[in-house]
């Protein structure tokens, strides 16, 4: 289910809710879901190559990722691997407090190949300090992109199509710039297939995951590239987002101004939904239950729900 279909679903349930307000609610719901858990189709996991520089002690991870053309906003680091031309090793994480106790002055020790790392916020520190230039491969979770109903790019497939790629000959995409977005087939052969995550691209070919159910056909299949959430997988995350967004929308319509309480109740709502692999939550009874409990007077302090 894409963003536009979510908006249609929510405004059908809540006719008084404007499209703009429903869009805010959807993105709020997506963000809350990402805070609670690293959902496969909500949080982007990527392996990005960075550089460890000879003699450098600290690295600004956010700045390094920002320099990459395909980096989502960093949420948390999963693993770091250091590699040179002959071998590689997975670095061991050491909590900052223990690091400061045991390695208070790493500059006083000999440089070498790092075995450990720590984080001070999003500042990365290696030990030993590098004695040469190395490649760092960072595997991390990123925050999902804000969803919108606007296609960032559209076109017709041309050239060689496969189950795991889409080609548009001579398109001129910037290499790696589409990584983390989703490509949909919106017309022609294969129409209606859910969004596929773009995990690599060059100037005219997108590598996608999972594979197409129906391989696009050159000259016939129309594609659209979008940011944000793709079609739900077995966890039915889109149903959860619709339920939360509709609930947020009811809060806006009923003028509940306690944002802290909104988020607390939303978390309880999620836990009660029994969200597990393969189990689709039934939102309607829960929405009715919470709707009848909401106050009908008050004032909206959140400017996103005003006007």
Residue whose pair of structure tokens reads 């959860």 in the numeric block: 240
pLDDT at 25 over 50: yes
How would you class 150 by CB atoms within 10 Å of its CB: exposed for 0-12, middle for 13-18, buried for 19 or more? Answer: exposed
Helix (H, G, I), strand (E, B) or coil at 66: helix
pLDDT at position 32 is: 74
pTM over 0.75? The answer is no
Is residue 233 pLDDT above 60, yes or no? no
8 Å CB contact between 117 and 91: yes
Rg (CA), the chain: 23
The confidence score (pLDDT) of residue 278 equals 39
Sign of CA dihedral 270, 271, 272, 273: positive
Q: Which run of H or E residues covers position 30? A: helix 19-36
Mean pLDDT (the chain) is 75
Q: How many residues does the chain have?
A: 307
What are the tens digits of pLDDT across the range 195-212?
788 889 999 999 998 899
């Amino acid at each position: 289910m894409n963003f536009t279909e979510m908006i249609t679903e929510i405004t059908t349930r809540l006719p008084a809710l404007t499209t703009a307000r429903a869009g805010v609610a959807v993105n709020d719901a997506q963000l809350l879901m990402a805070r609670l858990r690293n959902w496969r189709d909500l949080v982007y996991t990527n392996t990005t190559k960075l550089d460890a520089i000879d003699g450098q002690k600290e690295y600004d991870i956010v700045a390094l990722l920002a320099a990459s053309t395909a980096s989502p906003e960093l949420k948390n680091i999963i693993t770091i691997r250091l590699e040179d031309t002959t071998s590689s090793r997975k670095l061991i994480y050491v909590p900052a407090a223990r690091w400061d106790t045991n390695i208070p002055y790493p500059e006083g020790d000999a440089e070498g190949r790092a075995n450990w790392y720590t984080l001070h916020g999003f500042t990365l520190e290696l030990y030993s300090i590098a004695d040469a230039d190395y490649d760092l491969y960072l595997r991390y979770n990123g925050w999902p992109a804000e969803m919108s109903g606007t296609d960032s790019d559209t076109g017709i497939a041309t050239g060689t199509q496969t189950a795991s790629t889409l080609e548009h000959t001579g398109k001129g995409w910037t290499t790696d710039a589409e990584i983390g977005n989703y490509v949909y087939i919106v017309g022609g052969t294969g129409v209606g297939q859910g969004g596929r995550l773009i995990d690599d691209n060059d100037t005219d070919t997108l590598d996608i995951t999972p594979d197409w159910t129906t391989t696009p056909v050159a000259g016939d299949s129309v594609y659209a590239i979008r940011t944000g959430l793709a079609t739900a997988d077995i966890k039915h995350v889109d149903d959860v987002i619709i339920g939360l967004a509709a609930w947020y929308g009811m809060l806006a319509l009923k003028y509940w101004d306690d944002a802290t309480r909104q988020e607390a109740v939303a978390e309880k709502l999620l836990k009660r939904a029994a969200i597990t692999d393969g189990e689709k939550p039934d939102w309607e009874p829960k929405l009715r239950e919470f709707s009848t409990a909401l106050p009908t007077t008050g004032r909206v302090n959140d400017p996103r729900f005003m006007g």
